[in-house]
Amino acid sequence: MEQDRARGAAAAHPYAPPGTAPAASYAAADRVRIPEQARGEHTHSEPPAPRTTVRRHSVRGQILQALRASLVSGELVPGEVYSAPVLGERFGVSATPVREAMQQLSLEGAVEVVPNRGFRVVERGARELAELAEVRALIEVPVMLRLARSVPAARWAELRPLAEATAAAAATGDRASYAESDRAFHRAVLSLAGNDQLVAIADDLHRRSQWPLSSAPVTRRADLVADAAEHSALLEALIAQELTVVQSLVREHFTGADR
């Protein structure tokens, strides 16, 4: 059945109410909306859910990407338990790829296994977020300052489209979309150091720092726009090789990394 569903060319969004227009391709990793009844492992009392198109060769990857987006947006609520079978119904797939994706999120520290029930989204406090910001700064700030002294202006100029992409995502107010573009910009900057392990570790810390706090207010679009503006300002200072400005902007950017 899963294979039959995966062959569909298009389908309604897995969380759209009956009668609404079909959503865009799932490959765009639109966010997952989890209704209140999507709790626990028992599904017999829940109404059938619309299906979505998921390609066989990347089922697990697509599910993982969408769940990560839902963590960032807060649609997967800290402290709540979600079951693989119920989420599988809403994706139009079996519980297996959902469970595999959740196991990966468990390894990343985003969720924890609840035996015979599913997975609970981890509740995080301000202290953890501040600690992540501190560790990111310890890793990234020295590298960025070293690169500012060695990378030619032409290489920095090549990153302008990525900085512009963060500004475009921020303007939409979509935290999940902004999170992806934000990490892409930082990965591109750090990749200039030529250290793949550094990029991987920094990206993992960055991803974890994007998960919302248990009682955090909804992120304002103005905050995203301000953060994106720092990317552009930093890049222009790097291109101009204004090292004093670069140092100030880099430290300021990480001071506000937990907002």
Convert the pLDDT of each residue in 203-224 to its tens digit: 999 999 888 877 655 668 898 9
pLDDT at 74: 84
pLDDT interval class at 50 (50, 70, 90):
very low
Q: How far apart are CA 136 and CA 2, in angstroms?
A: 41
**Extended beta strands in the chain, E state:** 81-82, 111-114, 118-121
Query: Which is more confident, 156 or 3?
Result: 156
CA dihedral 55, 30, 91, 214 (to 10 degrees): 140
pLDDT at 58: 81
Q: How far apart are CA 34 and CA 28, in angstroms?
A: 18
pLDDT at 158: 96
Please say if the pLDDT value at position 185 is more than 50.
yes
Q: How far apart are the first and last CA of the chain?
A: 44
Residue of 182, 157, 154, 148 whose CA lies nearest to 253: 182
Q: Rounded mean pLDDT of 189-215? A: 91
Query: Which is more confident, 48 or 201?
Result: 201
Structure tokens at 197: 């392990």
Tell me whether strands 111-114 and 81-82 are parallel, antiparallel or unpaired. Answer: unpaired
User: What is the percentage of the chain residues whose pLDDT exceeds 90?
Assistant: 49
pLDDT at 55: 52
Range of lowest pLDDT (39-53, 85-99, 189-203): 39-53
Please say if the pLDDT value at position 154 is more than 90.
yes
Please say if the pLDDT value at position 30 is more than 80.
no
Q: Rounded mean pLDDT of 21-47? A: 44
How does pLDDT run across 86-102, given as a tens digit for each residue? 888 877 888 999 999 99
Q: In what order do the strands lie in the sheet with 81-82?
A: 81-82, 118-121, 111-114
User: What is the percentage of the chain residues whose pLDDT exceeds 70?
Assistant: 75
pLDDT interval class at 14 (50, 70, 90):
very low
Residue of 99, 77, 95 whose CA lies nearest to 2: 95
Whether this prediction's pTM lies above 0.75 is answered by no
How does pLDDT run across 114-149, given as a tens digit for each residue? 998 999 999 888 898 899 999 999 999 999 999 999
Q: How far apart are CA 102 and CA 97, in angstroms?
A: 9
Please say if the pLDDT value at position 72 is more than 70.
yes
Residue of 114, 116, 45 whose CA lies nearest to 80: 114
Query: Which is more confident, 27 or 136?
Result: 136
Residue 54 CB partners (closer than 8 Å, separation 6+): 5, 6, 26, 62, 63, 91, 92, 93
Average pLDDT, the chain: 80
134's enclosing H/E stretch is helix 126-150
Helix (H, G, I), strand (E, B) or coil at 111: strand
